[in-house]
Amino acid sequence: MTILNENQLAIRQQAREFVAKHIIPRAAEFDKSGEFHPYLLEAAKESKIFAMAVPKEYGGLDYDALTQALVLEEWGYGCAGMGTTLAASILSMDSVLVGGNDEQKRRYFTPMLTAQIGAFGLTEPGAGSDAGSGKSTAIKDGDEYVINGTKCWITNGGVATVYVIYALTDPTKGMRGISAFIVERGRPGFTIGTVDHKLGIRSSNTVELLLKDVRVPAANLLGKEGEGMKIAMMTLDLARPAIASLSVGLAQRALDECVKFLQKRYQGKPHQAGQTLQFKLADMQIQIEGARQSLHHTMMLRDAGVPFSKESAICKTLCSDVAMSVTSQAVSLMGSAGYTSELGKYMRDSKIMQIYEGTNQIQRLVISRAVLTPAPVAAPAMKAGE
Amino acid sequence: MNFDLTEEQQLIGQSAREFGKEYLDPIAADLDHSGKFPKAIIEQLAGYDFLGLMLPEEVGGAGAGFVSYIQVVEALSRSCPAIATILNYHSLAAHAIATYGSDAQKKAHVPSLAKGSHLGTLAIYENGPTPGIGPDALLASKQGDKYVLNGTKAFVRNAGVADLYVVFATLEPSEKKALSVFLVNARTPGVTVGPLLDTMGLKGCPVANVVFSNVAVEADALVGGENAGSAIAQDLLAILAVAEGAQTVGLGKAAVKHAAEYAKQRVQFGKPIAVLQAIQTLLADVATDSHMAWLGVLRAAQLIEEGKPFEADAAMVKAFLARFGSKMLIDTCQVEGGFGYSEFMPLPRLFRDIAGTTLMDAPADFPDKIIADSIA
């Protein structure tokens, strides 16, 4: 286990208590209804947790990266769907953090202080893994931009108050023509399309966004025209470990529930079931602990100001693959009793962790590029006497 | 050694595939939503002779054998695996009577099960780690000429819709916790079906606890003699592992076909993703795993049909699919990305289903011990 300071331990404890009180008791209900419930935001208002990534100068909690990972792990433990709501709001903020000026940051982050949330609008029906092939446009008209297009699978899309939307300011330039914009909810022409019904993370809101002649002031452009793809990639580098955090929490929850079940089934003596079962439980914990360390290491690199792009991709891939493996194993070890919607939820929730915020295939592209073009390992050793 | 199917086996597989296309493909998504027992479909299965397919002709079955039977299970599972679960538990209940029952029991029960005028099922699992252990274990006691059953059978498939339960109970007093098998009519006083379990998938096959309180059955309800049930349970569970293997293979084949078609149409980076090696590897892995599983299933089925020892082969099928079965859907959903996670598309349903055919009823050590013991 990473050595945490007192502050981090206290924050994790607070998160644990919040999750136990507000998230765990209602997770099954929202999973069943398949709807995002504003209850969560109401419950989280007082703690300002939706502003945990907001810097102090904008009134936020300004948690370091490792502490954010600890909180997200707890949320993933409680319900990966509700954890996704928090993670996706921070994802949208990361674009503003990366590309926004002081005024834009203040404008975008202020709603987060009262548990309003944001959404990140990059993906389009024809532009998933190939994120640079989006067709949405933002054409300059005087001191405004006019945005047109369709975004899909947008987490929080139906319930956010602020959005970061990516669109082509110069359609002739392809991905170099993409720019990022702040778009506030309620602008004329901005409507919510189909609500997606998903295999898992069903308590999170996923929708299509329809933009028809939506006008935003030029002051809503993040960075410069054409910097959108760069901002998006930097955003995803920052945000990927959030998915790793949810995955670790999810996997730990599945293991804990599995152990709880086996204690009951074997009347307090699951070790009597034999080594095959015991070793499977050990393997689950080995995977989880290894994944957690990879995540924490990545977060410590980020907090130290060291480049962590490769580690970000590695921990996202490792943690999500571990979550898929551990949650499947948990269903198996619980037998027929594990095959309920309620316990199967961990397995259903895990599947998205391998897909969203860059599929694990895209992560492997990033990682393999880093492997194939390594930085010099170390300077040649000095000879004795030099 | 011959893996080629006979003409009859091929024709049976063909007709099951046609049945799937005509009757199951159109209803599979609705059945998943409603979870309502598909009575009309089961009647249609009877019309195709599938309900008595593997049962001997002399007791009213079609006498087509177990290899033919798994052709049907695999084919139906490509369209709707829940139907195959209903069929498996029905067929195994009838097979238990046809194999271990007395002449009178065969005559009384098998023809109506084979025809489909009655639906059967196995009541085998309990809430404890093994039958006879838990606090609500089903116990039987002999009282005069009758046996009286008290306790709960858990996770009973076809619960509430079956007419006949093949029930595994622990006969008291018994030192070794040996099981005995009883045939219990679903309408016998004292038999009650608990609330349906909200299963993750295989919706449409009802699963529930069945509670027995002072259920009295005649001595002629006992199958194969007192304390003969443990060996019978082991035999049936091994056959079931092979049948569920066929189910998983059908599911995997349907999923990989869907993902391959998707990959040919989905254009990213200026070309269909089907040309990307990363996608080809995912598809190739799934196709390989389902093919290897199918060879194992066929071999075990052949041994079953020929009456040869098959337990280790069945256990290997189970062990292999416990490892690679659910991965077939984890990987095919991955190929379809966001679409592979949307319940508007078919793969998420199959993802939930395959967890049922591979992970349910797979106690951690069940296959490993049998396999290890079989190594000479």
Q: Domain with B175 in it: what CATH number?
A: 2.40.110.10
Domain count, chain B: 3
The Cα of A360 is separated from the nearest Cα of chain B by a number of Å equal to 9
Give the pLDDT score at B266.
Answer: 97
Instruction: Decide which of 2.40.110.10, 2.60.40.10, 3.40.50.360, 1.10.1040.10 is the CATH code for A118-229.
Output: 2.40.110.10
Residue B64 is part of which domain span? 7-118
Q: Nearest Cα to A149, choosing from A60, A71, A212?
A: A212
Residues of A within 8 A of B278 (CB-CB) are 361, 364-365
What b/e string do you get for A254-268 counting C-beta neighbours within 10 Å, with b at 16 or more? bbebbbebbeebbee
Task: Show residues of chain A in contact with B344, CB under 8 Å.
Answer: 196-197
Q: Is the pLDDT at A202 greater than 80, yes or no?
A: yes
Q: Does B154 touch chain A (CB under 8 A)?
A: yes
- Tell whether the model's pLDDT for residue A382 goes beyond 60: no
Contact residues for A211 (Cβ-Cβ < 8 A; gap 6+): A136, A147, A148, A149, A150, A151, A165, A167, A183, A189, A190
- Residues B352 and B369 grouped into a single domain: yes
Kindly state whether residue B133 falls inside one of the protein's structural domains. Answer: yes
φ, ψ of residue A40 in degrees (nearest 5):
-60, -45
Per-residue confidence at B351, pLDDT binned at 50, 70, 90? very high
Distance CA B86, CA A120 (A): 45
Backbone dihedral region of B177: left (phi > 0), alpha (psi from -120 to 50 degrees) or beta?
left
Is the confidence at residue A381, as pLDDT, over 60?
no
* B274 occurs within a structural domain: yes
The model's confidence at residue B134, banded by pLDDT at 50, 70 and 90, is confident
Rounded to a whole number of angstroms, the distance from the CA of A6 to the nearest CA of chain B is 40
Residue A194: CA count within 13 A, CB half-sphere: 11
Q: Say whether pTM exceeds 0.90.
A: yes
Residues of A in contact with B134 (CB under 8 A): 265
pLDDT band, residue A386 (cuts 50/70/90): very low
Which residues of chain B are within 8 Å of residue A339 when distances are taken between CB atoms?
A: 197, 199-201, 355-356, 359-360
Summarised one tens digit per residue, pLDDT across range B35-63 is 999 999 999 999 999 999 999 999 999 99
Instruction: Tell me the per-residue pLDDT of A4-21, one tens digit each, with 9 for 90 and over.
Output: 999 999 999 999 999 999
Q: Does A356 touch chain B (CB under 8 A)?
A: yes
The tokens of A67 are what? 């502490």
Element (H, E) at B255: helix B229-265
Measured between alpha carbons, how far is B355 from B343 in angstroms, rounded to an integer? 16
Whether A383 shows a pLDDT value over 60: the answer reads: no
Q: Is the pLDDT of residue A245 over 60?
A: yes
Tokens of A127: 């532009």
C-alpha angle B74/B368/B203, rounded to 5°?
Answer: 35
The third-level CATH classification (topology) of the domain covering A6-114 is Butyryl-Coa Dehydrogenase, subunit A; domain 1 (1.10.540)
Name residue, tokens 């097979």. Answer: B95
Q: How far apart are CA A129 and CA B278, in angstroms?
A: 13
**Low-confidence winner among A67-81, A112-126, B301-315, B361-375 (lowest mean pLDDT):** B361-375
Axis-axis angle for helices A309-333, A228-265 (nearest 10): 30
Tokens of A376: 């010099």
CA A43 to chain centre: 20
| A310 close to B (CB below 8 A) | no
At B366 the pLDDT is 67
pLDDT at residue A269, as a whole number? 79
- CA atoms of B70 and B218, how far apart (whole Å): 35
Amino acid identity of A94? D
Token pair, residue A82, equals: 């509700």
Closest-CA distance, B1 to chain A, in angstroms, reads 34
| Residue-averaged pLDDT of chain A | 94
CA angle, residues A233, A351, A202, in degrees to nearest 5:
95
The residue from A225, A227, A311, A357 that is catalytic is A357
Supply the CATH classification number for the domain A237-372: 1.20.140.10
A22 within 8 A of A40, measured Cβ to Cβ: yes
Structure confidence at residue A276 (pLDDT): 86
Q: How many helices (H) and strands (E) does chain A have?
A: 11, 8
Interface test with A, best of B351, B359, B365, B368 (most A CBs within 10 A): B359
Is B1 inside a domain boundary?
A: no
pLDDT reported for residue A87: 97
> B182 at the A interface (CB within 8 A)?
no
Q: Cβ–Cβ of B269/A133 closer than 8 Å?
A: yes
Question: Does the annotation count A227 as an active-site position?
Answer: no
